[in-house]
């Protein structure tokens, strides 16, 4: 049974040790980083840089605590993510969101190059076949995965597994394009975008959110450049009238997340990855989007473990015990106390990703929760 260490978000005393940064320091000492990482070892601190307008990421103050703890054992950390928009733009977004060398005390780098093509093709599994793992993540000997726990319109729940699967794999590959990238998880077949003109209000949100300018409109008709499209699905997700459809399958998507996560984890020796889940500012959608809605659940705390399945199951268990917040999407959806808030928001079989990760041997859903 894996150990999962937990620190509550509540601060019941007006002292630093009872603050969340103080508790994170304690968690990092309790887990014993020196048992996993070595002096002089390069360590990737994997997180999400956010988007312009999406500010509810793992706070830089927390990332700095992780960096400082790794430095104290003599390691050499850096903070990284794969490109979600054009590389230089993404670095600038990271800087706007407070993620930079000055604030974190460590370099901030793109894991798969400025164009997202710096990756290594690896065998995945029966669903994906092959995936393009970011070369930096493939090559670095150790990693700390810092995940912002939240809802997700496609995954239902987004935590460490999605951070590994979507964040450790590039959007495309030079030879096979999106079919070897994260778009292969979002869609099936040829990934043909379907537009329903009768439902479209020509609000142009899909055009504005596209990271590659693959969507334009001419004479009130959509023009889709399928050759450059990453199949990231953002256009479909921002369309409130359901005028756009990127064909997919919920069960296949959940299982492919676990499969991609296993591929990324497989590039590391056993015991060289640590997982930290931040249950803070728990919004209903991904940090990739151009806005952040208000939290649906009150801040709960921080979880840390060396078992990705256990830390995910523990996170979900905490979410399921929490009450929905007023004046949020949870209230709009009429979620009641005691109901599965994640299922009520997006109606996705989100537990499948955790169950599949366990089936693939990535860890155990049985855990011991140790609260500090």
* DSSP-assigned beta bridge partners for residue 230: none
Sequence ranges of the chain with CATH classification 3.30.70.20 = 189-245
Sequence ranges of the chain with CATH classification 3.40.50 = 2-183+249-371
For residues 232-259, average pLDDT: 92
CATH code for the structural domain at 2-183+249-371: 3.40.50
- Could you say which DSSP state residue 308 is in? H
The percentage of the chain sitting over the pLDDT mark of 70, rounded to a whole number, equals 100
- Could you say which DSSP state residue 312 is in? H
Find out whether 195 and 244 touch, Cβ atoms under 8 Å.
Answer: yes
Closest CA to 301 of 323, 320, 324, 276: 276
User: 250-284 burial, b if ≥16 CB within 10 A, otherwise e?
Assistant: bebbbbbbbbbbbbbbebbeeebbbbbbbbbbbbb
Quote the pLDDT of residue 190: 83
Angle at 135 between CA 130 and CA 139, to 5 degrees: 110
Per DSSP, the three-state class of 7 is: strand
pTM comes to 0.95
Closest CA to 311 of 152, 159, 154, 150: 159
pLDDT band, very low/low/confident/very high, at 248 (cuts 50, 70, 90): confident
For residues 152-173, average pLDDT: 94
CATH classification for the domain delimited by 189-245, as one of 3.40.50.620, 3.40.50.300, 3.20.20.450, 3.30.70.20: 3.30.70.20
Q: How far is CA 22 from CA 17, 26, 29, in A?
A: 5, 6, 11
Instruction: Answer whether residue 186 shows pLDDT above 90.
Output: no
Closest CA to 137 of 308, 284, 296, 260: 260
Quote the pLDDT of residue 369: 98
Q: Which residue has the tokens 């500090």?
A: 372
Angle at 207 between CA 204 and CA 210, to 5 degrees: 145
Closest CA to 302 of 273, 275, 274, 277: 277
pLDDT band, very low/low/confident/very high, at 189 (cuts 50, 70, 90): confident
CA–CA dist 89, 111 (Å, integer): 14
CA–CA dist 204, 355 (Å, integer): 38
Find out whether 176 and 184 touch, Cβ atoms under 8 Å.
Answer: no
Instruction: Answer whether residue 91 shows pLDDT above 90.
Output: yes
Quote the pLDDT of residue 172: 87
CA–CA dist 228, 247 (Å, integer): 18
Quote the pLDDT of residue 153: 87
Instruction: Answer whether residue 207 shows pLDDT above 90.
Output: yes
């Amino acid at each position: 049974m894996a150990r999962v260490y937990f620190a509550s978000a509540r601060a019941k005393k007006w002292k630093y040790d009872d603050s969340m940064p103080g508790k994170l320091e304690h968690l990092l000492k309790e887990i014993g980083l020196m048992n996993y990482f070595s002096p002089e070892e390069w360590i990737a601190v994997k997180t999400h840089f956010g988007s312009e307008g999406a500010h509810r990421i793992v706070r830089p103050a927390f990332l700095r605590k992780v960096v400082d703890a790794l430095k104290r054992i003599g390691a050499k950390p850096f903070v990284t993510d794969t490109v979600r928009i054009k590389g230089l733009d993404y670095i600038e977004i990271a800087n706007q969101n407070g993620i930079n060398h000055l604030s974190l005390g460590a370099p901030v780098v793109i894991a798969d190059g400025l164009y997202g093509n710096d990756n290594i093709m690896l065998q995945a599994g029966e669903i994906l076949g092959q995936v393009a793992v970011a070369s930096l993540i493939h090559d670095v000997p150790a990693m700390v995965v810092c995940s912002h726990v939240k809802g997700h319109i496609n995954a239902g729940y987004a935590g460490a597994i999605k951070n590994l699967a979507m964040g450790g794999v590039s959007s495309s590959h030079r030879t096979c394009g999106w079919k070897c990238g994260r778009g292969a998880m979002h869609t099936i077949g040829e990934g043909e975008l379907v537009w329903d003109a009768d439902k479209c209000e020509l609000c142009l949100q899909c055009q504005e959110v596209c990271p590659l300018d693959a969507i334009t409109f001419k004479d009130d008709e959509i023009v889709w450049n399928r050759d450059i499209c990453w199949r990231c699905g953002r256009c479909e997700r921002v369309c409130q009238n359901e005028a756009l459809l990127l064909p997919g399958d919920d069960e296949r998507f959940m299982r492919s997340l676990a499969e991609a996560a296993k591929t990324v984890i497989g590039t590391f020796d056993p015991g060289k990855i640590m997982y930290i889940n931040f249950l803070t500012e728990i919004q209903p959608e991904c940090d990739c989007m151009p806005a952040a809605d208000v939290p649906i659940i009150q801040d709960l705390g921080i979880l840390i473990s060396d078992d990705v399945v256990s830390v995910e199951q523990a996170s979900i268990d905490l979410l399921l015990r929490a009450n929905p917040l007023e004046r949020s999407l949870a209230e709009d959806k009429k979620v009641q106390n005691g109901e599965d808030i994640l299922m009520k928001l997006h109606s996705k079989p989100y537990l499948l990703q955790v169950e599949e990760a366990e089936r693939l041997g990535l860890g155990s859903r049985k855990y011991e929760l140790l609260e500090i």
